[in-house]
Structure 1
C-alpha cells in the first residue's frame, strides 16, 4: 500500500473512531478543504470543521472504500450515516473525496456529493423539492459556516 493510501486510511479510521486530533494531524498546515455544505475552508477553519462535526455527532457511522493514491494525488469513497441535528432526519451521505499531498500530509481535500440529495434527506420534502434551487443550498452553507465560526470562537481557535 502506498504511503499516501495509508494516510487516507488512517484519516477515515480516525473519523470512524471519532478521533479528531488524529484526523487533523494528517492535514498540512496550509490545508484547503472544500465541499458543498461548507464551501472552501483553509487552515484552522478546515481543522475546526472536523473537530466540530465529531463533537456534535451523536449517532455518526462512517464507512470508506476505494482508496487510491500515488505520490501526489489520491481519492476515496466514503459514507456518513447520521441524524441531521436540526430536523432529526436520517442522512446517508455518499461522498467521493479527492486529495493532494505535500510533505507527507494532506494539502487539499475536496469532498463531492449531491447537495440536492443531501437536502432531501436532511430536510425532507422541502429539501427534495427545492434542493435544486441555489438559494436553499447557499442558505445551508451560510448556516454551516456561521456555526463553524461560533464553534471556533467558543473554542478560542
Structure 2
C-alpha cells in the first residue's frame, strides 16, 4: 500500500470515529478543500470544517452516524476515495444518505494538499431540507443560500475555537 493510501485510510477511519483531531493531521498547512457547499483555503479553515461537522454530529446525531468508505487508491501525486455517510442534518434534524467521491493531491511529505469532494447537491438538499430542497435544490439560489449559511456557521465556529484557545 502506497504511503498516500495510508494517509487516506487514516483520514477516513478517523472520520468514521468522528475523530477530527486525527483527520486534521492528514492535511498540509496550505491545504485546500472544495465541495458543493464549501470552498476553503488553509489548514485552519479546512480542518475547522471537519471539527465543526464532527462536533455537530457528536452533539445531535451520534446515534445514527455511519460512514463507509471504499475505493481508496493513491500514488505519489494523487488519490481518490468513495465514501457514503448516513447522518442527521443538524439544521433540520432530517436523515441524509450522501454519496461522495473524493479526489486528492499530496505534498512530498504525504499530507493532503488538495481535497475535492463531489456529490449530487439536489439529492442532498431533498434529504437535508425536505420540500424546499425538492423544489429549489437544483437552483443556484438555494445552493448560494446553503453555501452562505455554511460559510457563516464555519466563521462563527472558528471564532469560538479561537476564544477557547484551539
Q: Same fold (TM over 0.5)?
A: yes
Unaligned 5+ residue runs, structure 1?
A: none
- Using structure 2 for the length normalisation, give the TM-score: 0.91
CA distance in 2, matches of 1:10, 1:85: 26
Q: CA deviation at 1:129?
A: 1.9
**Corresponding position of 2:31:** 31
2:48 equivalent in structure 1 = 48
Residue 141 of structure 1, aligned match among 133, 140, 147:
147
Name the SS of the counterpart of 1:4 in structure 2.
helix
2:134 to 125, 128, 131: 128
CA-CA distance at 1:74 after TM superposition: 0.1
Distance in 2 (CA, whole Å) between partners of 1:90 and 1:118 is 10
Corresponding position of 1:94: 99
Pairing partner for 1:70 from 65, 69, 75 = 75
SS in 1 for 2:73: strand
Moved beyond 3 Å, runs of 4+? none
Distance 1:23 1:15 in 2: 7
Unaligned residue ranges in structure 2 (runs of 5+): none
Q: Which protein has the bigger strand share?
A: 1
SS in 2 for 1:155: helix
1:21 aligns with 2:21: yes
Distance 2:110 2:93 in 1: 39
What is the CA-CA distance between 1:40 and the residue it aligns to? Answer: 3.5
**Aligned residues between the structures:** 157
Task: Verify: 1:11 aligned to 2:11, yes or no.
Answer: yes
Task: State the TM-score, normalized to the length of structure 1.
Answer: 0.96
SS in structure 1 at match of 2:37: coil
Q: Any idea what the Cα deviations from partners look like across 1:101-145, whole Å, max 9, x if unmatched?
A: 002100001110011111011011220121111010110010001
Q: Is the 8 A contact 2:137 2:143 kept in 1?
A: yes
